[in-house]
Every structure is written in C-alpha cells, then in structure tokens.
Amino acid sequence: MTTDSPTTHFGYERVATDRKVERVREVFDSVAPNYDLMNDLMSGGLHRLWKRFTLTKTGLHAGDLALDVAGGTADLTAGMSRQVGASGLVCLTDINAAMLDQGRRRLVNDAIVGNVAIVQANAECLPFADDTFHCITIGFGLRNVTDKAAALASMRRVLKPGGRLLILEFSRPALNVIEPLYEFHLFRVLPALGRIVARDRASYQYLAESIRMHPDQDTLLDMMAGAGLEDSLYHNLAGGIVALHIGYKY
C-alpha cells in the first residue's frame, strides 16, 4: 500500500479502502455459524427485543415491498415477511454469502419462503430500480460498510417516495454511568466469548472496535440528512447502547 493510497478504518486499524470489504468478509465468514448464538450471549437476548421494536416502526402493510440490507441471519426479514403477507415481498440482501446461507437456512426452518427473495449485494450499490421499496431496514450492518454515505444514498434511491429507512445499530451510551461497564463488556467480555464459544477472538475484537468507530446518534442523523433523507429521528434503546434511526424519502 503506497502512502497516498486511500485508507479507511477496520476497527482501530487503518487499511486500504479496497481491502476493507475483503477483511469484513473474512470476519463474517468466520462468525456466521455461531452468529445467532453469540448475539444472544453478547446481548443477554436483548437483541431480539431491539429487533422486535424495529419491526413496530416499519409501517408495512399487506402487499408492500420491503428490503433488509445486510440482513444476515434474517431476523428482520422474517418479521417483515409476516407483515407484508403472501401478496408482498421482502428482499434479503447481504454482501456475505456465508451469512446469507445462515439466513436461508433459518427461513426454511421457519417455513418462510414464499414471499422472500435472497440477493447477494453490496449496500453501497444496491441492484434494484429507483423507488422500489416501502421500507428498508439495516440491522447491525451499517458500521461494517466501507462507504456509509454511499450506502445511505443507495438505500434512499431505492425507497419509494413516502418510504422509510430504519437503521438499527450500536451507538453511544446516553448515561455516563453506563460507559465503564459498556467498555468492559465490549473489550473484555466480547472477545473472551468469541475465543471460548466461537474460537475466534480476533473477529470479535474487530466487532467491538467497529462499534466504537461507528458514528454517534447525532452524527448519523447528519449523515442521513446529507443523503437526502428527511424528518430523521432516533430512539435510544438500552440507554443509548443501541439506537434505532428512522428517516423518510419524500
């Protein structure tokens, strides 16, 4: 890598921009088989409540079209498929084939197959026509995207006028008293769980660092506005450890 090559962060490490996608793919290739179990262990099962809350904000109706970006193991996809019904459609996308395999397996096991399409796609350049979807979700995926501004613009492009984007992501604790406990959990507990359960400490160290490098609540609001999303707001969950951002296309 030459000194003038564009770089970005991979956790706390600086890497060539064109290498980040490959590095993130390697992480999720490794964590995919244990992803759901690790989510339960890391959050004490709270991630299920956060996703359930997100689903209450989709505004979807029977017959609507929805998109789950970086949808991985398909938690949000499964919920939206029930909301849109047999006459609607949910597209599950992820850049990582191993994560999509886990999502496909989960949907088949839950007998959710008739109104879901699965597409391997990069959030920065979604392969869909303009003005397609009534609602787009991205749950715990935006922080792993190399060019977040491009991803936000891409998601806005494929939203229908009147549609909404929901971003569920780790954020910044709103209460100072939470900070030391949160820091201990991120950088001591999370990598240890990765080493013991998934036999992969390095990937979970990266995931902890990626949480810290992700924009805080207000910065993400500004980025959404910069992408042309309007009336954006956020709901802090678990004291701001997680936030749900919502923005609209008019």
Within 10 angstroms of residue 14's Cβ, the number of other Cβ atoms is 11
Query: What is the domain extent for residue 236?
Result: 23-175+205-248
Whole-number pLDDT of residue 128:
98
Separation in Å, CA 213 to CA 81, 187, 193, 233: 32, 13, 21, 21
* pLDDT band at residue 173 using 50, 70 and 90 as cut-offs: very high
Query: Which position has the higher pLDDT, 33 or 90?
Result: 90
On the question of pLDDT at 177 being above 90, the answer is: no
Whole-number pLDDT of residue 95:
94
Query: Which position has the higher pLDDT, 2 or 132?
Result: 132
Whole-number pLDDT of residue 207:
87
Would residue 195 count as lying in a domain?
A: no
On the question of pLDDT at 1 being above 50, the answer is: no
Dist CA 67 CA 42 (whole Å): 26
Dist CA 227 CA 223 (whole Å): 6
Would residue 3 count as lying in a domain?
A: no
Whole-number pLDDT of residue 58:
98
Would residue 186 count as lying in a domain?
A: no
CB burial of 211-229 (b: ≥16 within 10 Å; e: otherwise) equals: bbebbebeebbebbeebeb
On the question of pLDDT at 3 being above 70, the answer is: no
Would residue 6 count as lying in a domain?
A: no
Total domains in the fold of the chain = 1
Would residue 212 count as lying in a domain?
A: yes
On the question of pLDDT at 49 being above 60, the answer is: yes
Whole-number pLDDT of residue 2:
47
Q: Is 45 exposed, middle or buried (0-12, 13-18, 19+ CB in 10 A)?
A: exposed
pLDDT tens for 114-159 read 999 999 999 999 999 999 999 999 999 999 999 999 999 999 999 9
**Average pLDDT, integer, range 69-79:** 96
**Average pLDDT, integer, range 3-24:** 85
CATH at 72: 3.40.50.150
Would residue 51 count as lying in a domain?
A: yes
State the chain's mean pLDDT as an integer: 93
**Average pLDDT, integer, range 2-25:** 84
pLDDT tens for 198-238 read 888 998 899 889 999 999 999 999 999 999 999 999 999 99
Whole-number pLDDT of residue 4:
62
**For the chain, percent of residues with pLDDT exceeding 90:** 70
Would residue 188 count as lying in a domain?
A: no
| Helix or strand holding residue 15 (H, E) | strand 13-16
Would residue 193 count as lying in a domain?
A: no
Whole-number pLDDT of residue 33:
87
